Chains A and B, each alone.
Chain A
């Protein structure tokens, strides 16, 4: 596809050639090394679409099976695999990656950046997603897919009741895919906070960016509990550590807590970006700014927080005190408030504007109808007595599809139709598009509106067939007919999308009259997005200056061209959007693909119980990731020190607070969520499990515990002193000091290993020892990593890649040292000191 530049002057053409030489994608085999956000965003979405179709086929199999009573073309085993994989594929392999892909594609274009802040991380995330998805889906083809439901409740998913590899495929595959989600979460957060256009203060940011910021932070905090749960369950299945087995001091309900600590926010992680599409499109098609921008921002943040306080409403029937149920019931009702704020804002914007009934708007209206109904049944389910009555029935299935299909798929299709001209430069067919909408909308309601009744009549979910005469037959038949009608609607939409690439009318520039920056770009956008980076001091840059696209293309704004050969974008302050630095980005690379491939080997080796191979591949992946990190900062392949480099603003690697530090900070937020989930598990089992076996005295040696912690304290103190010296411009003896600090880290590690050795834990006999072992391995892994990184820093200081002129990297590593110090002492207090103070026993 050739781009249609917003301006065809010779200066614009010259700039285009110059920037394309630096930012352009390699071709042939080297296309596997691409790190460009547009290409990778589209790859995410294309892969998500494939998984959506596969998940849709599974849904059709389910509806075919349930269409008639006593239908048994699928055996109970296969049916369980199909329903489990349908839910898993749609939630983990379609919804999240698809929305991440959309965000990865759009966010830089909307905030005036040339790429995301960690392009190689984008590529790594994509490969992890692809390989994880293939491994997970392969289980179905091998007829050994997981069959315990998409939430994998223990003990059904444990070794005793699921002895095959199905649960392992789920646990390892999903964990692998979640690396991708976390990668996207971290870099989207930092990109939105640090790479907005000059002048684009927080209160001028497009609402879509607010939604994605909330989604990204929710992924960062919400996914680690499930990763921990998956690690623990896999350890239980593979090594016999009884985290979820009552007889060993564990508790199966702990899995439910860990799963739903992730699972309920997940619903809002899916909903928020979709609502972001709605909040972007409605003002455009209403022809006026959104009513209550600040109210929407507040609603996004409230949703982000409150959604973490609802997880127990999925567990109302497991037997918890009424008062606790009342807390979660009230919190569940509370989350309806921010959602209602947004619905009223959208309605008010339409009311006060002049709405145009275009194809994207049709999908938006469909969303409004379906999602409001889903929200209302959600409030019904928040009421404990009603929840008890319909628990595990088709009413819940109907509700969740109203929320997820209405709340995600409809806005997503609205967004695809809206941004399609930007991606392809062509318009879809209005007639096919409308036919697709009505088939999907009517088919959906025929399937799931009726399913509410089926549920109220008592039909449980996940049963492979039912007897005639129960009164469920007509409802199931109608639902199945509706399901196939919806499938026909989706097929029509896909046909429209496929045909438009060849037969679609060429789109005029900014065909919808939109206000946001992405419509100032070439259609399709060039690899570098913006030939020059504009100053933005309004929420509606294109409404206020319709000629902005041509100005950008002619290089009338900042950082026009790229004679130096670096990939550059502007780094700005999070609140005000003031320029801070120039961020230089890495180029295309094999490292992300190689590291993800090695992790795929780890995953497959663990599945096949080839543990030595898994360990070797894990270490190889570590080496590859460290080698990747080596090409950074002042490295000759990145941005070596020179005499002609910019000073005001400086390159980010010459500052003390570049985006790498923010990336580390956000990544540690995810790490902290994992650690806190582990602590929650420790205290939960201690308080609740009937056979928790806490010995009268801690098995951890007090002297070694305090000694290892003291060494850590000294190392961090020494590092902080060196950082202050570096700030003052003193870098003499830096390498030696860093080697010394790494040596202290090594000693800390040695004492911790001896402590673990001396403890004589029996992790397969008691959950207490098993949790303790995981906790100690966690701090050992972090201690080893931070010491190794410090050795590398010392070596880089020797080579001149770290110095008073290049002070950023030690500050990034310092964050990990501080984290290790904090997590070590918290773990020491919780597992080594607290049992000594208040005694053991349940």
Chain B
């Protein structure tokens, strides 16, 4: 693995930040996207939660959730084969962090199925 791609290694310290950074970017995009859409083209209040805006934000949430679960799986499987103890520790903690971030995406994104976007 070259220096440019080493950060993708599950034992690289960047993995400790990756999952929660993705959570943060998703969160900012979710709130920012909602705010801009509500300012520019708010859906009719009578539509409730069944709006195109909720749908797009929901799909974005599912995609982020999938990416985080995949990253968690990569780190989990690396824990068993990583020979360096420090890197094994990083991979194990990173797997937990990716899983937490995935849980966070699911939990924070849940209101999308129940609440109208711009009321």
| Genuine A/B complex | yes
B70 at interface by CB-CB < 8 Å: no
Q: Specify which chain B residues have a CB less than 8 angstroms from the CB of A298 in the assembled complex.
A: 93, 96-97, 100
Cβ-defined partner of A322 (8 Å) among B16, B87, B107, B115: B115
Q: How far is the CA of A577 from the CA of B16 in the complex (A)?
A: 17
Q: Which residues of A contact B39 (CB under 8 A)?
A: 687-688, 842
Chain A to chain B contacts (Cβ below 8 Å), 24 pairs:
A201-B85, A201-B86, A203-B89, A298-B93, A301-B93, A302-B20, A302-B100, A306-B20, A306-B23, A309-B108, A322-B119, A323-B112, A323-B116, A323-B118, A326-B115, A327-B31, A328-B31, A334-B108, A575-B87, A577-B86, A683-B32, A687-B35, A687-B39, A688-B35
Q: Tell me the complex Cα distance, A312–B35, Å.
A: 13
From 291 to 338 in chain A, residues with beta carbon under 8 angstroms from any chain B beta carbon are: 294-295, 297-298, 301-302, 304-306, 308-309, 312, 321-324, 326-328, 330-331, 333-334, 337
Please measure, in the bound complex, the distance between the C-alpha atom of A47 and the C-alpha atom of B33, giving whole angstroms. 45
CB pair A321 B96 closer than 8 Å: no
Known pairs A203-B85, A323-B117, A688-B35; A305 contacts B20 (CB<8 A): yes
- Find the A residue at minimum CB distance from B23: A305
Establish whether residues A309 and B27, one from each chain, have CB atoms under 8 Å apart when the complex forms. yes
Query: Does A380 lie at the interface of the complex (its beta carbon under 8 Å from any beta carbon of B)?
Result: no
**A residues in contact with B23, CB < 8 Å:** 305-306, 309
B17, B40, B90: the one within 8 Å of A202 (CB): B90
Contact A331 B104 (CB under 8 A): yes
User: Which A residues are CB-close (under 8 A) to B1?
Assistant: none
In Å, the complex CA distance between A301 and B38 comes to 33
List chain B residues, Cβ under 8 A from A312: 31
Chain B residues whose C-beta falls within 8 Å of the C-beta of A575 in the assembled complex: 12-13, 86-87, 90
State which of B24, B36, B86 has its C-beta within 8 Å of the C-beta of A576. Answer: B86
Inter-subunit contact B115/A323 (CB<8 Å): yes
**In the assembled complex, which residues on chain A have CB atoms less than 8 Å from the CB atom of B74?**
none
Q: Which residue of A lies closest to B88 (CB)?
A: A203
**B66 contacts partner chain A, Cβ-Cβ < 8 Å:** no
Contact of A326 among B27, B32, B96, B111 (CB under 8 A): B111
Q: Take A306-B104, A575-B13, A575-B90 as given contacts and tell me if A322 and B24 are in contact as well, using a CB distance cutoff of 8 Å.
A: no
Please report the C-alpha to C-alpha distance between residue A321 and residue B85 in the assembled complex, in whole angstroms.
Answer: 48
Is A833 engaged at the interface, CB distance under 8 Å to the other chain?
A: no
Q: Is the beta-carbon distance between B24 and A305 smaller than 8 angstroms?
A: yes
Q: Let me know if A400 is at the binding interface, CB within 8 A.
A: no
Which B residues touch A305, using CB under 8 A?
20-21, 23-24
- B-contacting residues of A (Cβ < 8 Å)? 201-203, 294-295, 297-298, 301-302, 304-306, 308-309, 312, 321-324, 326-328, 330-331, 333-334, 337, 574-577, 683, 687-688, 842
Complex CA–CA separation, A574 to B12 (angstroms):
10
Chain A residues closer than 8 Å to B118, beta-carbon distance: 321, 323
In the assembled complex, the CB of A533 is this many whole angstroms from the nearest CB of chain B, namely 20
Within 8 A of A (CB), among B1-41: 12-13, 16-17, 20-21, 23-24, 27, 30-32, 34-36, 38-40
Our pick among A321, A337, A688 for the contact of B34 (Cβ within 8 Å) is: A321
Asked whether A321 lies within 8 Å of B20 as measured between CB atoms, the reply is no
Question: Cβ of A842: which chain B residues have Cβ within 8 Å of it?
Answer: 39
Q: Is B92 an interface residue (CB 8 A)?
A: yes
Q: A327-B30, A334-B104, A574-B13 are in contact. Are A687 and B36 (CB under 8 A)?
A: yes
Q: B97–A302 contact, CB under 8 A?
A: yes
What residues on B are CB-neighbors of A294 within 8 Å? 89, 92-93, 96
Which residue of chain A has its CB nearest to the CB of B114?
A326
By a CB distance below 8 angstroms, the chain B residues around A688 are 35, 39
**How far apart sit A308 and B27, CA to CA, in the bound complex (Å)?**
10
- In the bound complex, CA of A241 to CA of B17 (Å): 38
A201 CA / B86 CA spacing, docked (Å): 6
Residues of A within 8 A of B40 (CB): 687
Q: Shortest CB–CB separation between residue A331 and chain B, in angstroms?
A: 5
Residues of A within 8 A of B100 (CB): 298, 302, 337
B110 within 8 A of A: yes
A294 to B94, CA, bound (A): 10
Once the chains are docked, how many angstroms separate the CA of A333 from the CA of B21? 19
B34 to chain A: closest residue by CB? A324
Q: Check B27 against A202 for contact (C-beta < 8 Å).
A: no
Residues in B neighbouring A328, C-beta threshold 8 A: 31
| A330 / chain B contacts, CB cutoff of 8 Å | 107-108, 110-111
Interface contact A321-B93, CB-CB below 8 Å: no
Contact A323 B111 (CB under 8 A): yes
Given contacts A305-B24, A327-B27, could you give 6 more A-B pairs where the C-beta distance is less than 8 Å? A203-B86, A301-B93, A333-B107, A683-B32, A683-B36, A687-B39
Most buried by B among A203, A305, A330, A688: A305
10 shortest interchain CB distances as A-B pairs: A326-B111, A203-B89, A305-B20, A201-B86, A330-B108, A323-B115, A687-B39, A298-B96, A309-B27, A323-B117
Given A294-B92, A326-B111, A575-B87: A309 in contact with B24 (beta carbons within 8 A): yes
A308 to B40, CA, bound (A): 26
Q: Nearest chain A CB to B58's CB is how many angstroms away?
A: 12
Interface band, chain B: 35 or more
Question: A448 vs B27: C-alpha distance in the bound complex, in angstroms?
Answer: 34
**A301 CB contacts on chain B under 8 angstroms:** 16-17, 20, 93, 97
**Bound state CA distance, A209 and B32, in angstroms?**
35
Shortest beta-carbon distance from B95 to chain A in Å = 10
Contacts of B110 in A (CB 8 A): 330
Q: Given A305-B21, A330-B111, A331-B104, are A322 and B116 neighbors across the interface (CB < 8 Å)?
A: yes
Please name all residues of chain B whose beta carbon is closer than 8 Å to the beta carbon of A574 when the two chains form the complex. 13
CA A290 to CA B50, docked complex, whole Å: 49
Q: Which residue of B lies closest to A335 (CB)?
A: B104
Cross-chain contact of B24 among A308, A324, A333, A577 (Cβ < 8 A): A308
Q: Which of A297, A322, A323, A326 has the most CB of B within 10 A?
A: A323
Closest CB in chain A relative to B96 CB, distance in Å: 5
Q: Write the nearest CB–CB distance from A470 to chain B, whole angstroms.
A: 35
Q: Return chain B residues, CB-CB under 8 Å to A326.
A: 111, 115
Note all chain A residues with C-beta closer than 8 A to B16.
Answer: 301
Residues of chain B within 8 A of A337, CB atoms compared: 100
Partner of B38, one of A201, A304, A321, A333: A321
Query: A331 touching B84 by the CB < 8 A rule?
Result: no
Residues of B within 8 A of A202 (CB): 13, 86, 89-90
- How far is the CB of B30 from the nearest CB of chain A, in Å? 6
CB closest chain-B residue, reference A302 = B100
Q: In whole angstroms, how far apart are the Cα atoms of A143 and B16 in the complex?
A: 49
Report the Cα distance A354→B82, complex, angstroms: 35
Kindly state the separation between the CA atoms of A308 and B23 in the bound complex, as whole angstroms. 11
B73 CB to closest chain A CB (Å) equals 17
Q: Please, which residue of chain B has its CB at the minimum distance from the CB of A684? A: B35
Q: List the B side residues contacting A333 at CB < 8 Å.
A: 107
Q: Complex: how many Å from CA A49 to CA B84?
A: 45
In chain B between 63 and 88, which residues have their CB closer than 8 angstroms to a CB of chain A? 84-87
Give A688 to B40 CA distance when docked, in angstroms.
Answer: 9
Q: List residues of chain A with CB within 8 A of the CB of B84.
A: 576
Using CB atoms, name the residue of chain A closest to B84.
Answer: A576
A334, B111: Cα distance in complex, Å: 14
Q: How far is the CA of A295 from the CA of B117 in the complex (A)?
A: 36
Hey, which chain B residues are within 8 Å of A324, CB to CB?
Answer: 31, 34-35
Chain B residues closer than 8 Å to A306, beta-carbon distance: 20, 23, 104
Contacting pair A331 B116 (CB below 8 A): no
Give min CB distance, B60 to chain A, whole Å: 13
Which residue of B has the minimal Cβ distance to A329?
B111
Q: Let me know if B27 and A321 touch, CB within 8 A.
A: no
Tell me the minimal C-beta distance from B77 to chain A in angstroms.
Answer: 17
* Complexed CA–CA distance, A688 and B13 (Å): 39
* Nearest CB in chain A: distance from B35 CB, A: 6
Q: Which residues of B contact A302 (CB under 8 A)?
A: 20, 97, 100
Q: Looking across the interface, which residue of chain B has its beta carbon closest to that of A204?
A: B86
- Which chain A positions have C-beta within 8 A of B85? 201, 203
The residues of A that contact B87 with a CB separation of less than 8 Å are 575
Query: What residues of chain B lie closer than 8 Å to A322, measured between beta carbons?
Result: 115-116, 119
Which residues of chain A are within 8 angstroms of B21 by Cβ–Cβ distance?
305
Alpha-carbon distance between A318 and B24 when the two chains are bound, in angstroms: 23
